[in-house]
């Protein structure tokens, strides 16, 4: 791998940018790998990267049905934060946020991580109590957060309409929260993993598992049989499809989550503003588009498109909070299929099949966890025992009752 630097930029610019190296190879699959990761999104590629980098396992393949980063990694609203209520979640997401902070240097790839500050608005007495409770819990976990008055919110977002139908009474600010460029995260991890010998195999669909004596030994794919000593499944919305192939069920349902971007405009909003109560979140991309997300549709679907009435539910709160955007045009709207658990916490777990690991259930908020999820999942696969940060997220918690109940506890808006 040729490293990117100011010198490589200069050298290539005098050569009309003809000599840039391809970011990763496209090898044919080998007969067998030590570890096969199914799913070439951010979490899967990060897993492969940390397996090679920190666990010394380089005989690794990432198998992707479509193209890398073409699923939910390329469809999310790119928000990164770690202001969660439960200790287990704080452990996971703060681990990820610390990795985000050094990620561009580590990967030698600009993932455009921008800790621009993230506001969570409170609109009623219950919200104020919720951010009070959560803010203090976050402090106890050693994570940054500040309480803001409505005037403080107005200072950060001067054009916000505080006196809207559900007036803004205060906010919780995480200064280290922000955004990152989602595509660059997938590409950066892919490039760095490939440089250490990981095979990234795109357009290769898994059609079944080869399981002998309740132990996974390989994968049936559209490009033939691929042997594997260990398999990690990181396929988000399609995890139930994979688990069915392996012969067990997951505590997960797949629903569509929509997002949209506006036409590009000059810089107007330099932080991320979220609201759980009126349920909308907004930020501005470096291209100038407003990136808008909201709640998910509430029916199971794999259709990668949401319902029309939810578009209205997304836009209504935007116009209430920011009347200045009322004449703006939306450029694109899309949906992704997210894998939702009942407690709104992920499943990072061993499974009933030996040597088969699942990393799923990230639901509507997996992007922010990408580096942390990949890191703990890689260590778990390498050791065969779950990493301490991943331990509470075992799928057995749905049998033992030890849920990580982020959904009920924090009225969570991902």
Partner 1 sequence: MFLIKCPWCGERDQSEFHAHGEAHIVRPENPDQLSEEEWGDYVFFRKNPKGLHYERWVHSHGCRRWFNAARNTITDHIYATYKPGEPKPEIDVNDPIHGNPENQR
Q: Which residue is associated with the tokens 């088969």?
A: 356
**Binding segment toward partner 1, per CB under 8 A, in 69-77, 249-257, 326-334, 372-380:** 249-257
**Which of 8, 108, 285, 301 touches partner 1 by CB under 8 A?**
301
- Closer by beta carbon to partner 1, 138 or else 250: 250
20 counts as binding partner 1 under rule CB under 8 A: no
**Which of 173, 250, 259, 338 touches partner 1 by CB under 8 A?**
250
Question: At its nearest, how many Å lie between partner 1 and the CB of residue 383?
Answer: 25
**Which of 77, 104, 179, 254 touches partner 1 by CB under 8 A?**
254
233 counts as binding partner 1 under rule CB under 8 A: no
- Closer by beta carbon to partner 1, 159 or else 299: 299
- Closer by beta carbon to partner 1, 186 or else 395: 395
CA-closest candidate to residue 233, choices 369, 401, 373: 373
Footprint (CB under 8 A) of partner 1, residues 335-394: 342
Task: Provide the 10 A C-beta neighbour count for residue 206.
Answer: 23
Total residues binding partner 1 (CB under 8 A): 24
Eight-class DSSP state of 236: G
252 counts as binding partner 1 under rule CB under 8 A: yes
Distance CA 345, CA 352 (A): 20
Task: Provide the 10 A C-beta neighbour count for residue 224.
Answer: 11
308 counts as binding partner 1 under rule CB under 8 A: yes
**Which of 175, 263, 300, 331 touches partner 1 by CB under 8 A?**
300
Footprint (CB under 8 A) of partner 1, residues 391-410: 398-401
Eight-class DSSP state of 72: G
Footprint (CB under 8 A) of partner 1, residues 84-143: none
234 counts as binding partner 1 under rule CB under 8 A: no
Task: Determine the 3-state secondary structure of 136 from DSSP.
Answer: helix
Question: At its nearest, how many Å lie between partner 1 and the CB of residue 50?
Answer: 28
67 counts as binding partner 1 under rule CB under 8 A: no
Eight-class DSSP state of 354: B
Question: At its nearest, how many Å lie between partner 1 and the CB of residue 170?
Answer: 31
Q: What is the secondary structure of 140-203 as a DSSP string?
A: HTT---EEE-HHHHHHHSTT--TTSSS---EEEEETT-EE--HHHHHHHHHHHHHHTT-EEE-S
Within 8 A by CB and 6+ apart from 172, the residues are: 83, 119, 120, 122, 131, 134, 135, 145, 146, 147, 148
Distance CA 51, CA 45 (A): 10
Burial class (CB in 10 A: 0-12, 13-18, 19+), 218: buried
- Closer by beta carbon to partner 1, 20 or else 302: 302
Q: Under the rule (CB under 8 A), what is the footprint of partner 1? A: 238, 240-241, 244, 249-254, 298-303, 307-309, 342, 398-401
């Amino acid at each position: 791998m040729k490293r990117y630097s100011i010198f490589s930029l200069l050298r290539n610019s005098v050569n009309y940018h003809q000599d840039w190296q391809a970011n990763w190879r496209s090898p044919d699959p080998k007969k067998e790998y030590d570890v096969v990761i199914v799913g070439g999104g951010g979490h899967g590629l990060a897993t492969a990267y940390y397996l090679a980098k920190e666990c010394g396992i380089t005989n690794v393949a990432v198998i992707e049905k479509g193209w890398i980063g073409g699923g939910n990694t390329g469809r999310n609203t790119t928000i990164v934060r770690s202001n969660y209520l439960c200790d287990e979640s704080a452990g996971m997401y703060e681990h990820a946020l610390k990795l985000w902070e050094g990620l561009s240097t580590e990967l030698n790839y600009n993932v455009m991580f921008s800790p621009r500050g993230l506001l969570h608005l409170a609109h009623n007495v219950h919200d104020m109590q919720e951010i009070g409770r959560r803010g203090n819990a976050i402090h106890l976990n050693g994570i940054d957060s500040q309480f803001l008055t409505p005037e403080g919110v107005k200072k950060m977002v001067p054009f916000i309409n505080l006196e809207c139908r559900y007036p803004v009474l205060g906010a919780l600010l995480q200064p280290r929260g922000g955004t990152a460029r989602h595509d660059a995260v997938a590409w950066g991890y892919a490039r760095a993993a490939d440089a250490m010998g990981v095979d990234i195999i795109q357009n290769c669909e898994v059609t079944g598992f080869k399981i002998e004596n309740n132990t996974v030994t390989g994968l049936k794919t559209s490009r033939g049989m691929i042997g594997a000593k260990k398999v990690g499944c990181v396929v988000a919305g399609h995890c139930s499809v994979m688990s069915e192939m392996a012969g067990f069920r997951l505590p997960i349902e797949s629903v569509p989550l929509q997002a949209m971007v506006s036409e590009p405009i000059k810089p107007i909003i330099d932080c991320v503003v979220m609201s759980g109560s009126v349920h909308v979140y907004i930020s501005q991309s470096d291209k100038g588009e407003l990136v808008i997300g909201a709640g998910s549709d509430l029916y199971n679907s794999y259709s990668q498109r949401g319902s029309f009435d939810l578009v209205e539910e997304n836009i209504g709160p935007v116009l209430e909070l920011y009347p200045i955007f009322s004449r703006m045009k939306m450029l694109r709207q899309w949906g992704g299929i997210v894998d939702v658990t009942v407690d709104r916490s992920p499943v990072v777990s061993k499974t009933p099949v030996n040597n088969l690991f699942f990393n799923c259930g990230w639901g509507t908020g997996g992007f922010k966890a990408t580096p942390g999820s990949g890191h703990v999942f890689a260590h778990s696969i390498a050791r065969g025992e779950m990493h301490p940060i991943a331990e509470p997220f075992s799928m057995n918690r749905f049998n033992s009752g030890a849920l990580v109940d982020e959904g009920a506890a924090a009225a969570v808006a991902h």
